[in-house]
Structure 1
């Protein structure tokens, strides 16, 4: 079972909503290359509101992701695409239900 997670809400700048969605979709191959990332979700919560939610079995996996290519790409594009810098919420997972 995954023990820790990240939740990162993202607010697109006006007119940049499609670019944020495209960026998130393009990040999947990078995440797939991360052995410590168990699950990864890029979601759209509203017209300009997006988020990333990902899970890890341990702190080492979470830290590897935070220091990986997706995080670096997001921070490099943040000023161009986002209304404000991303806020990274480190959360603990109490329980889960995943496919077997």
Structure 2
């Protein structure tokens, strides 16, 4: 969950990340989320830990971290979870 100081950039920043994530073969699902007026987040899923690490060391994560101090009211929080059950489109 990321609370943005400059909320007008939140949606644009997430939308700009989508084409980059589309190039990541191991990112099987990626959602840019608005959780409230000033709170944004990302949910993404990977087939394995290697895919997760590739994404977290990729271009979108680098862009988030490079602009974190300027954009966010607090440092971004990355919470790794394991999906135990899911339904995704084929």
Class of the TM-score when normalised by the shorter of the 2 chains:
over 0.9
The structure 2 residue matched to 1:91, chosen from 60, 67, 81, is 81
- Aligned-pair RMSD on alpha carbons? 0.6
Residue-pair matches, total: 90
Which structure's residues are more often helix, by fraction? 2
| Alignment partner, residue 21 of structure 2 | 31
Once the two structures are superposed, the pairs formed by residues 7-86 of structure 1 within 5 Å of their partners are 9-13=1-5, 16-86=6-76
**What is the TM-score when the length of structure 2 is the normalising length?**
0.97
- Structure 1: give runs of 5+ residues left out of the alignment: 1-8
1:27 alignment partner, SS class:
helix
Q: Which has the higher contact order (CA 8 A, sep 6+)?
A: 1
Q: What is the CA-CA distance between 1:99 and the residue it aligns to? A: 1.6
2:80 alignment partner, SS class:
strand
- Structure 2: give runs of 5+ residues left out of the alignment: none
**What is the TM-score when the length of structure 1 is the normalising length?**
0.88
Which structure's residues are more often strand, by fraction? 1
